[in-house]
Structure 1
């Protein structure tokens, strides 16, 4: 089986070069069209392509003169790109199914692989990096990301079912039957997930293709060193790139020597559509860092504001269909905006301002944390935060963050000023959604502990909620349970808090919600979104406090992820909704474990280990995609007696939560119990060890941890070796370790590795190594 897999991969590769553009055709650097770049930024329908929704559009609107002009200029003739990084999933998706709407796609692996490789070849020959070409495919992601992947895949599976039903109904209405060729297999885009048979074949094919190109293509023969980090290497593609850059920087600081992998004045270009790449590029603090992507007017042709533009095939894109964002321009704009503080702050640092800007952008949403409801990019949240930050910076005489650390007092002060606009936001939602609960005024709250904290009334955290400052503490007994027969006198954890009487002045609310005692939009938010009853006063205050602590922990995890890499593979935010800004109070209390009263503080994380690939598939895939798993594991999604069956509901609801687009809705499905899932998977693997009939060799291979591969072109030895300021490619062969290319240092292999089996599904240690190929 394995032999035939390799043969199939080789077959795909040999055919791919015939479709590649000639070296001569694509030998000149990329240039972009001189059209108005604002028109290339699509309407909100296109923001589904971004990791941080609407961020790219905000930047071009905020700084139109410089940003847009630079986008139009593209990559000038005299700019030499040293390192070129490809976030491959941004290529794999459009090359396989093209984000197609209203049509069924059928699986044709050979054609899909050819298209992927052709597009990589085209990008490589346009940008012409002189040192490194890094191909990063998403591997197993941290648990925090897996929850977002799970929601997205459940939603896409449901939408695919609806599409099939609509197409069938349309054909029936026309008097036809929807005919599907039985010889063809319908393409399930969820197969673009680490651990599937499709991704294993693609990974093998990519390795063979790179070798083939370096042997046969003149451009590749004398081109850059190619690094391939496939789906069997844990980590998101863009974060593998960041690990590589970050650890290369550290090595340079340690040795003081430039190599063919990294130097202090390198020009870095990162290809990808996610706007969070802007944030990742900024925190590297590299002076020459650029982002390359297709113009949104091209990508979204035929949709939204570009519905009258003819859609082009990806293989027809020219250099004029791309745009380049120089992050150095954004840094200069921030430098101009904050230059007055160079005299006001004792140790003024633009890098620290940039880091705070990235932190503020995290507050409007990312793949790992929900954002406060009233902090929306298209509602002006980033501009509001920037204005607030500029106003408060002289008073603070310091910064919000120090890499992964936060100053809790300044952040609480910052959130207090942002919270002023929270009630107005909910009133607006009340009219838009015809929901009287959002119109309830905060003035209806009269309890002493309704608003507490330094910036409100100076009240301490309610005694019933103090224990929530500690992770893992348990809430007090429910007052509702007490009313149902439990003697309150036997529950000393309950506070002597007067019962909540509810809102008395809003008849529309009482008619809509006769059983609710919510007095304000705040009570209604936690009651309707998280199920925390207003009348269960002590328990709800505890849960709201724990909610804020989890959110603060999430902010620290995010900062670590951007600045240092994955701090914990197991951490995730255990709520579907964020806390309200008005609850972000007494934040200093969460740092009780800090041995020193430091200015900047952080939470401690345990690194843990990535999920094994097959366990990760079981975690993120919906039951409609069970065929992408080995049958022994796929049954766990479908069989009524499966211990995991409750995590795969046949139907689920989505909450728009104030958003307009369906893809922005909150998918209400349960979080996976990681311990139960891993234990169940391990039982299947142990049974396979004993009986040897549950998994095929290729299925076992899909669960093994891989390594990053380096391909050094033969022509590299003929190039001069110069370690001067603007170094050329070195003839020295790189170390067998590639910085940042593998899992985190403490990460270990999957349950089904070639090393001796250890019970526990994630306990076999594998050194961080790569394979050099020549």
Structure 2
């Protein structure tokens, strides 16, 4: 979900949902590395059945990491991806299924969002290059030292896109990796591995959720399956809740803010590019050329326990004296839907609803008040009751003016605090620690380095905090008058259609050079900084795009045509898996489109099997696509195409806990619930202990009084 602050808010409000992962490390004996035996019980004292990997969240940090040197070539990138998956497998140790899903072609709405993000990243990259060149020239003119510019090929992350050579190579490498682990790792021997590469349409997380929903709808599905999903996107929490599975956990890297990064100009730590003085680095020792290197620490992982989050939500959403029976599962779906208003991957958030300003709590409060009047819930099985949602929106609209005005006041107040603190600091009355409050804005967010007085902020022509903002809003964004009721209805209808589509998506399923501008405007849309805004790009006309590509298709090579075609999911098992002999027989008989209902052979998983054109087969060597890794001469894995079972006409996913599911024991204590209602986190200011030793005089009393006012938030 397109809300970076959501996870931070969630983990602060509901802290008991977070558990740090225990990770067993490989040991060394006489210079030999002894790998971890993942077939042994999980050291986290929980046994998981299925592990799902949203692979794009692994591919990006492994190919162009932010906190360590980048891999030298594509082969090193693939090895880094293998090692990352190994770590996750070691921590989770799934006993039934490992499902790897790479983003395929996304829905049009997500394409627009991705396009905006990539254009903005490209623009920021060009601006950084220009700034580095300018600063380099200035530092050298001052006589400073800078290391020679390193000329190396920059990895273009845009190749992490369906149809590219990179993604095709990645799919081949993962097939090799799966075969190797099924052959050589005892922890893999009895699991079923699914690979859905970029040739299969859909985003990774939604391919995973569709798999879960379809298997859940089968008569032999185990309602007590313990799912573990890896990914950092906040929408995975929503998607996990939307399955209504009793046992669902998310694993992700632990977020550690304010990591030190080297200067982009000289490579040294402790300053930013704009403060670079070009000082020569000190030698550390005989063998280490320079002392100031980038600190590299291995990321740790955390579990997010959705069963515990459900406990919190049950406490928060339970309502008494309703004119209809209370249904917790329905209220969870309504909570997921309301969170769309603060942001998602497909629609811009409502400007008046900011997570850091308590927007979700405000929505829950409105919901609990309005639901008594609606006569029922907002959603049902992924469908929206618009008349009831309208009551929520009316209540939000009433509060908008006050929200915008308070936001402006809060933005001004920290500036006044910082000015006064600087005065107190110069007088020796406040410790330097207290000045750290300048590092965060009024909503507790660390300010970016660019947010200085020397950097002008983008002009905000709407000025939501001033009277007449609605007129300016429609004029600036649509070039229409706010009194044009017909147009406003059209905007509302389009937004509502988008909301309904997103909920269904969560629950059920050049001649065109003007499309690629070099420069474009940024719409702040209620935000403060340009990096939070929306890149205003011309919409791609599908007919013109198809016409432009019509002349290109005839020139594609057979390999390019193959990469531009739809692919299929592939299922892999090892020799010892009960399904292995059955798949072997299908290849011997050259059977196609075989529907399997083999509960005993594959943990209740059902679907359609189809022969692979270039299969991985037992006893057939598997050639390594990476020169530094050995071929698999005694391969024990077998692979075959897999298709999820199809829904019957008129099928609707039921958003309920399945019969027979054992609800996990509750873990929350009264104190845990109290901690979730202590209000928003605020930065603390520090006192100078010597302040108490200053002889009393009127000016000191005044300063002390002002300081107390600062602490209380009055000024």
| Superposition TM-score, scaled by structure 1 size | 0.59
Question: Distance between the aligned counterparts of 1:109 and 1:119, measured in 2?
Answer: 15
Say yes or no: does 1:67 pair with 2:32: no
Question: Distance between the aligned counterparts of 1:219 and 1:671, measured in 2?
Answer: 49
C-alpha contact 1:405 1:556 (8 A) present in aligned 2: yes
Partner SS state of residue 356, structure 1: helix
Question: Distance between the aligned counterparts of 2:153 and 2:75, measured in 1?
Answer: 14
Please, which of 553, 556, 572 is the counterpart of residue 500 of structure 2?
Answer: 556
Question: 371-380 or 148-157, which moves further after superposition?
Answer: 371-380
Map 1:101-250 to 2 at 5 A: 108-175=73-140, 179-181=149-151, 184-220=152-188, 222-250=189-217
Does the C-alpha gap of structure 1 residues 132 and 273 become closer, same or farther in structure 2, counting only changes over 3 Å?
A: same
Residues 714-760 of structure 1: CA distance to partner in whole angstroms, max 9, x if unpaired?
222399xxxxxxx987489964359xxxxxxxxxxxxxxxxxxxxxx
Question: Distance between the aligned counterparts of 2:71 and 2:84, measured in 1?
Answer: 20
Question: Distance between the aligned counterparts of 1:267 and 1:235, measured in 2?
Answer: 24
Does the C-alpha gap of structure 1 residues 83 and 162 become closer, same or farther in structure 2, counting only changes over 3 Å?
A: same
Residues 610-663 of structure 1: CA distance to partner in whole angstroms, max 9, x if unpaired?
xxxxxxxxxxxxxxxxxxxxxxxxxx2xxxxx2x11111121121333324443
Say yes or no: does 1:399 pair with 2:377: yes
Give the paired residue count.
498
Does the C-alpha gap of structure 1 residues 76 and 164 become closer, same or farther in structure 2, counting only changes over 3 Å?
A: same
Please, which of 554, 557, 568 is the counterpart of residue 707 of structure 1?
Answer: 568
Does the C-alpha gap of structure 1 residues 100 and 696 become closer, same or farther in structure 2, counting only changes over 3 Å?
A: farther
- Deviation of 1:267 after TM superposition, in Å, equals 0.2
Partner SS state of residue 554, structure 1: helix
Which consecutive residues of structure 2, in runs of 5 or more, have no partner in the other structure?
A: 24-41, 141-145, 263-268, 272-292, 413-459, 581-598, 611-639, 645-715
**Aligned position for 1:325:** 304
- Deviation of 1:350 after TM superposition, in Å, equals 1.0
Partner SS state of residue 712, structure 1: strand
- Deviation of 1:428 after TM superposition, in Å, equals 4.5
**Aligned position for 1:58:** 9
Partner SS state of residue 273, structure 1: coil
Partner SS state of residue 716, structure 1: coil
Does the C-alpha gap of structure 1 residues 649 and 541 become closer, same or farther in structure 2, counting only changes over 3 Å?
A: same
**Aligned position for 2:695:** none
Map 1:335-484 to 2 at 5 A: 335-341=314-320, 344-428=322-406
Say yes or no: does 1:529 pair with 2:477: yes
Question: Distance between the aligned counterparts of 1:355 and 1:241, measured in 2?
Answer: 19
**Aligned position for 1:295:** 254
Does the C-alpha gap of structure 1 residues 737 and 358 become closer, same or farther in structure 2, counting only changes over 3 Å?
A: farther
Does the C-alpha gap of structure 1 residues 216 and 312 become closer, same or farther in structure 2, counting only changes over 3 Å?
A: farther
Question: Distance between the aligned counterparts of 1:682 and 1:107, measured in 2?
Answer: 37
- Deviation of 1:233 after TM superposition, in Å, equals 0.6
Does the C-alpha gap of structure 1 residues 257 and 432 become closer, same or farther in structure 2, counting only changes over 3 Å?
A: closer
C-alpha contact 1:129 1:224 (8 A) present in aligned 2: yes
Map 1:730-769 to 2 at 5 A: 730=602, 735-737=607-609
Partner SS state of residue 303, structure 2: strand
- Deviation of 1:433 after TM superposition, in Å, equals 9.0
**Aligned position for 2:220:** 257
Question: Distance between the aligned counterparts of 2:328 and 2:411, measured in 1?
Answer: 42
**Aligned position for 1:671:** 539
- Deviation of 1:88 after TM superposition, in Å, equals 0.6
Question: Distance between the aligned counterparts of 1:431 and 1:389, measured in 2?
Answer: 27
Does the C-alpha gap of structure 1 residues 423 and 130 become closer, same or farther in structure 2, counting only changes over 3 Å?
A: same
Partner SS state of residue 228, structure 2: strand
- Deviation of 1:165 after TM superposition, in Å, equals 2.4
Question: Distance between the aligned counterparts of 1:345 and 1:122, measured in 2?
Answer: 51
Residues 271-319 of structure 1: CA distance to partner in whole angstroms, max 9, x if unpaired?
000011000000000000000011102x763279x999x98657x34xx
- Deviation of 1:696 after TM superposition, in Å, equals 3.0
- Deviation of 1:541 after TM superposition, in Å, equals 2.4
Partner SS state of residue 532, structure 1: coil
Question: Distance between the aligned counterparts of 2:603 and 2:539, measured in 1?
Answer: 50
Residues 99-122 of structure 1: CA distance to partner in whole angstroms, max 9, x if unpaired?
469x9x676100111101111112
Residues 421-449 of structure 1: CA distance to partner in whole angstroms, max 9, x if unpaired?
21123335666899xxxxxxxxxxxxxxx
Does the C-alpha gap of structure 1 residues 664 and 173 become closer, same or farther in structure 2, counting only changes over 3 Å?
A: same
Does the C-alpha gap of structure 1 residues 76 and 325 become closer, same or farther in structure 2, counting only changes over 3 Å?
A: farther
Question: Distance between the aligned counterparts of 2:191 and 2:60, measured in 1?
Answer: 25
C-alpha contact 1:710 1:771 (8 A) present in aligned 2: no
C-alpha contact 2:51 2:98 (8 A) present in aligned 1: yes
Higher normalized helix content (fraction of residues): 1
Does the C-alpha gap of structure 1 residues 429 and 88 become closer, same or farther in structure 2, counting only changes over 3 Å?
A: same
Partner SS state of residue 323, structure 1: strand
- Deviation of 1:385 after TM superposition, in Å, equals 0.5
Partner SS state of residue 650, structure 1: coil
**Aligned position for 1:95:** 62
| Superposition TM-score, scaled by structure 2 size | 0.64
C-alpha contact 1:58 1:377 (8 A) present in aligned 2: yes
C-alpha contact 1:227 1:709 (8 A) present in aligned 2: yes
C-alpha contact 1:716 1:731 (8 A) present in aligned 2: no
Partner SS state of residue 106, structure 2: coil
Residues 178-215 of structure 1: CA distance to partner in whole angstroms, max 9, x if unpaired?
5343xx42111111121222111111211122112222
Residues 228-251 of structure 1: CA distance to partner in whole angstroms, max 9, x if unpaired?
00011100000000000001111x
- Deviation of 1:544 after TM superposition, in Å, equals 1.3
Does the C-alpha gap of structure 1 residues 72 and 125 become closer, same or farther in structure 2, counting only changes over 3 Å?
A: closer
**Aligned position for 1:266:** 225
Partner SS state of residue 352, structure 2: coil
Does the C-alpha gap of structure 1 residues 526 and 433 become closer, same or farther in structure 2, counting only changes over 3 Å?
A: farther
C-alpha contact 1:85 1:134 (8 A) present in aligned 2: yes
Does the C-alpha gap of structure 1 residues 718 and 681 become closer, same or farther in structure 2, counting only changes over 3 Å?
A: closer
Say yes or no: does 1:657 pair with 2:605: no
**Aligned position for 1:647:** 515
